[in-house]
Amino acid sequence: MADDVLIKVDNVSKKFCRDLKRSLWYGVQDILSEATARNYERELREDEFWSVNDISFELRRGECLGLIGPNGAGKSTLLKILNGLIKPDRGRVELRGRIAALIELSAGFNAILTGRENIYSRGAVLGFTQAEIQKKLDAIIDFSELEDFIDTPVVNYSSGMKVRLGFAVASQMEPDVLLLDEVLAVGDVGFRAKCFNTIYQMMERAAVVLVSHSMPQISRVCSDIVVMDHGKCVFQGRDVANGINKFYSYFESEKGVATGSGEATIHSIDLESNGKLVMDSINYLDQTSINLEVSVDLHIDVFDVVIAIVSQELQPVAYCNSYFNQTHFTNQNNKMSISVDLGQINLSPGSYLITVIITTKDNGKILCKHNNAYELKVTGEHFCASPIQIYGNWLVKT
């Protein structure tokens, strides 16, 4: 329903100037133009650039928008425009209801006040009376897990403690619009899990905008996605997994150097799909093999090979270890060709990195480890937030 639209952004743009002195002069000109009702300069002048360029979207109650892009894409600038901290040069922003924002780790806290005093201060900013804040005080302190430090000045808080308190205030005050910028990157695993569960609950009554460089976080909570680059929107929609894949396309994978004891060498790594050597990519569910050329020092009789696949977040996705199925290799004292059939690759479309490790059989000593030695690209239409899709054979049991 139209009444459920809590955030409406129409063709919003914001420009900045790279030169400080010229930026100050432009600011004076713009203020005079507005004060005298002259035509306000809305095109780029010397040394200016668009930090946000013609962005539009709507967000309804119950939705969470993931705002992602490379560094310098304009994400934080757009979030500050939504929060009213800076004024757009073009376009229009409409927000309905009570707004809470965690755009910086300090979360707008007064450093010399205690955590308890800052709760009252932030609650007042959100429009609550002192009596209303008092009713929520225990729940806020309990959520933040800062009972022992709540009467300590915030200046003594760590960044994680500030995020705990800031998120606790924002969530317990039940805003209609919640703006989050990288705040969930700080804190322990348990607290982040609690934050995600709270966001799920808040999405029933609020619109949430989340800026993050953590794609697992984005895929976990977001219903919509906007990918920005150099201020422009390059992808927008509800296909969150496809948007994440677009985000990854801006980064080249760095191939790591070989480490280990140096008692083995990996000469080459090739990918074979459906009986043919692969140059760039494979399709989802293709039959896939990895071919290696290795050599091991003469004094080592038997060795094992490990294939590790990691995501572009450098998170482990899958392992294939010859030791596990007792397939040990006897050293032939010269260059050896080794192949492992991985079967049908059920990795979601995207890019992955392959690390190859050669170890001794007896004690698992690493003879050679080539980190991120090969980039594996999987193509297909079945994008998914999870790196692995289990194909499954479905049936109805009677």
Instruction: Return phi, psi of residue 270, to 5°.
Output: -125, 150
pLDDT tens figures, 145-165: 999 999 999 999 988 888 888
Each domain of the chain, given as residue ranges in start order, spans: 2-248, 258-379
33 three-class SS: helix
Residue 218 has pLDDT above 70, yes or no: yes
The CATH code for residues 2-248 is 3.40.50.300
pLDDT mean over 179-204: 80
The confidence band for 2, taking pLDDT boundaries of 50, 70 and 90, is very low
Q: Where are the beta strands (DSSP E) in the chain?
A: 5-17, 48-60, 64-68, 90-95, 99-102, 177-181, 207-211, 224-229, 232-237, 258-259, 264-273, 276-278, 282-283, 287-296, 302-311, 316-321, 329-330, 336-344, 350-360, 366-379
Confidence (pLDDT) at 38 = 66
**Tens digits of residue pLDDT in 10-25:** 999 999 998 888 888 8
> Of 52-66, 96-110, 150-164, 357-371, where does mean pLDDT reach its minimum?
96-110
pLDDT digit string (tens) for 342-381?
999 888 888 899 999 999 998 889 999 999 988 888 888 7
Q: Look at residue 1 in the predicted model and tell me its pLDDT.
A: 44
Q: Compute how many other C-beta atoms are within 10 angstroms of the C-beta atom of residue 341.
A: 10
- Contact indicator for 71, 42 with CB cutoff of 8 Å: no
Q: Mean pLDDT over residues 304-327, rounded? A: 91
What is the CATH architecture assignment of 258-379? Distorted Sandwich (2.70)
Pair 376, 269: CB distance under 8 Å? no
Q: Is the pLDDT of residue 98 over 60?
A: yes
Q: Is the pLDDT of residue 255 over 80?
A: no
pTM: 0.77
Q: Does the pLDDT of residue 168 top 50, yes or no?
A: yes
The three-state (H, E, C) secondary structure of 224-267, written as one string: EEEEEECCEEEEEECCHHHHHHHHHCCCCCCCCCEECCCCEEEE
| pLDDT (average), residues 64-78 | 93
pLDDT of the residue at 177? 92
Predicted confidence at residue 41, as pLDDT, reads 56
Q: What is the mean pLDDT of the chain?
A: 88
Model confidence at 187, pLDDT cuts 50, 70, 90, reads low
